[in-house]
Amino acid sequence: MVDKMKISLIRWLLFSALIALFVLHKDFWFWRNPTLVIGLPVGLVYHIMFCAAVTVLMVLLVRYAWPSHLEIDEDTEDK
Taking residues 27 to 56 in sequence order and writing x for each that binds another protein by CB under 8 A, - otherwise, the string is xx-xxxxx-x--xxx-xx--xx-xxx-xx-
* DSSP assignment of 55-73: HHHHHHHHHHS--HHHHHH
* 2, 5, 22, 79: which one binds another protein (CB under 8 A): 22
Contacts of 38 (CB under 8 A, 6+ apart): 45
What's the number of CA atoms in the CB half-sphere (13 Å) around residue 74?
5
- Chain residues binding another protein by CB under 8 A are 18, 21-22, 25-28, 30-34, 36, 39-41, 43-44, 47-48, 50-52, 54-55, 58-59, 61-62, 66-67, 70-71, 73-74, 77
